[in-house]
Structure 1
Amino acid sequence: MMSLAKDTVIGFIGSGVMGKSMAANLMEAGFPLNVYTRTKTKADELLEAGAVWKESAADLAAESDVIITIVGYPSDVEEVYFGDNGILAHARSGSFVIDMTTSKPKLAERISKEASKKGIEAMDAPVSGGDIGAKNGTLAIMAGGSETAFHELRPIFDVMGSNIVHQGPAGSGQHTKMSNQIAIASNMIGVCEAITYAEKAGLDPDRVLSSISTGAAGSWSLSNLAPRMIAGDYDPGFYVKHFIKDMKIALESAQEMELLTPGLELSLSLYQRLAESGGEDYGTHALFKMFRA
């Protein structure tokens, strides 16, 4: 297996709300960066900063030491990794692939199995922390894969995150992210109800927030997203449509384990209503619109 160094070439696929900042931080840390995305204009800022454009995922994989993907849906992950033009068909033996998309645990296991046949080390490493965490390099990174690969890739993870934990073998990162999304799903309902209650009671919601955010009710969503709710700023740190995708994966996995998840089911139903009313491209905190209306 190759030794990770500062001249390690990173190939980055996906330049959405979070991916763009994650890639930019890697460049700022000194890593040479190849980039590919289906819509080239989304990579313009990275290209202007010195990233090298590749015409396909196959070209990027063939010319990179570590390939990182953070795309939209499990179907996108399958498309970019498998097939004649996929990453696994063109990545060099001894290279690493890291899927940071929130995707299906079983798909992570499949990628790892197929990668190992080609001498490629695969990790699933979904993240949490939204656009703020991506920009500041303070994401929570939940890694699944071999412990050896995790330690070798740690310098890369350290650039993008501040809470980085190896959770276990392939698929473990995705299972951990499902636990994360389940916790957020119910918590977001509570945050929305709390702020709505404060407003209906005639209180200053910002002042209420200053009291409740540091006590037992405190949470990341309350501190970081409730202010956006109050301001009516629904720009995405993380898209509603992607959260719906995550909750569906979590629900499917929970059902396979015969696990009761009423909070998750309620949150999913509310977010689906929000998406159907035209809110799929809002940030997840836009669930507040369902309560404020």
Structure 2
Amino acid sequence: MLSKDNTIGFIGTGVMGKSMASNLLNAGYPITVHTRTKGKAKDLLDQGAVWKESVADISYSADVIITMVGYPTDVEEVYFGAAGILANAKAGTYVVDMTTSKPALAQDIFQKAKENKLYALDAPVSGGDVGAKNGKLAIMIGGEQKDFDYLAPLFEILGENIILQGPAGAGQHTKLCNQITIATNMIGVTEAIIYAKKAGLDPVRVLDSITTGAAGSWSLSNLAPRMIKGDFAPGFFVKHFIKDMTIALESAREMELFTPGLALSLELYQELAENGEADSGTQALIKLFEQK
């Protein structure tokens, strides 16, 4: 049974991972961390986390390994190869990839983990920087029921909407559904703010009316106010949203699905990134509309 004597290894301490690891520390779990840039882990180390110099170091010393990195290529790098998690974790270790990545890659990790007597789950999240800080993430999980049950105490610290969606890869597929929904929603949120301003309305008062009605959404409640304030700090990077939408569009095409809203949103965000906003938050989409 999982206990607070079990060491949790955390790889990737960016905008989301940092807060997630901090919540586990605050809950009393011993945490070891590794990230490409040690400075990004400083706050966690000050809280009591233990630094590990490499993926291999963190892998053979942890009972549970959580990864929260940027791109599928990063996931491949930390899991596969002689210096990766799968080659260095001791038998019986649980590995949880919380990066938004490719469903097929999650399935590959699961199969290789099983061959090495490891237990793997894919568990991407939604909720942005606010959800990560407050421990209120939605966590979408793929894998086996027994492994989900074993790690439930950890997931309950990180989020509050925690659902096992199916076998390996199901968590990633569910997260892609989430990103497809957000993709067109962000266009609508942006157009609504631009429209309100053009009509001579106070966009803050407009939000007071429409966030509680049928138009309500997380993006409308949380990102529209940032748009109005001109706060484009990343709760979720434009470049990472482009990555997610690209994966979703590729998966949709493999299933021969028609997704014009997703394709349009990806095109707009790619243009936004080309304008120098790749490291801004997704709410920076309004800048593109203001220029047109």
TM range (shorter): over 0.9
Distance in structure 2 (CA, Å) of the matches to 1:104 and 1:38: 22
CA offsets, 1:112-151, max 9 Å, x none? Answer: 0000001100000000000000000000000000011001
Match of residue 119 from structure 2: 121
1:198 equivalent to 2:173? Answer no
Residue correspondences, number: 291
Q: Within 5 Å, which residues of 2 pair with 1:35-50? A: 35-50=33-48
Shift of residue 8 of structure 1? 1.2
Distance in structure 2 (CA, Å) of the matches to 1:65 and 1:197: 52
Match of residue 241 from structure 1: 239
Ranges of 4+ aligned residues in structure 1 off by more than 6 Å: none
Shift of residue 6 of structure 1? 1.4
Distance in structure 2 (CA, Å) of the matches to 1:291 and 1:209: 18
SS in 2 for 1:122: strand
CA offsets, 1:43-93, max 9 Å, x none? Answer: 011001100010100010100000000000000000000000000001011
CA offsets, 1:221-278, max 9 Å, x none? Answer: 0000000000000000000000000000000000000000000000000000000000
SS in 2 for 1:18: helix
Match of residue 133 from structure 2: 135
CA offsets, 1:6-62, max 9 Å, x none? Answer: 111000000000000000000000000000001111101100110001010001010
Distance in structure 1 (CA, Å) of the matches to 2:234 and 2:43: 19
Match of residue 27 from structure 1: 25
1:280 equivalent to 2:283? Answer no
Of the three residues 221, 226, 230, the one matched with 1:232 is 230
Match of residue 65 from structure 1: 63
Match of residue 166 from structure 2: 168
1:85 equivalent to 2:83? Answer yes
Shift of residue 290 of structure 1? 1.1
SS in 1 for 2:9: strand
Please report the TM-score for the alignment, with normalisation by the length of structure 2: 0.99
Distance in structure 2 (CA, Å) of the matches to 1:100 and 1:160: 11
Distance in structure 2 (CA, Å) of the matches to 1:287 and 1:7: 45
- Aligned-residue sequence identity (percent) comes to 68
Distance in structure 1 (CA, Å) of the matches to 2:118 and 2:230: 46
Distance in structure 2 (CA, Å) of the matches to 1:122 and 1:6: 20
Match of residue 109 from structure 2: 111
Distance in structure 2 (CA, Å) of the matches to 1:175 and 1:258: 15
SS in 2 for 1:260: coil
Q: Which amino acid aligns with 2:15?
A: V
Distance in structure 2 (CA, Å) of the matches to 1:6 and 1:84: 30
SS in 1 for 2:228: helix
Shift of residue 292 of structure 1? 2.0
Match of residue 55 from structure 1: 53
Gaps in structure 1 of 5+ consecutive residues: none
Match of residue 255 from structure 1: 253
SS in 1 for 2:15: coil
Please report the TM-score for the alignment, with normalisation by the length of structure 1: 0.99
Q: Which amino acid aligns with 2:277?
A: G
What root-mean-square deviation, in Å, do the aligned CA atoms of Structure 1 and Structure 2 show?
0.4
Distance in structure 1 (CA, Å) of the matches to 2:17 and 2:147: 22
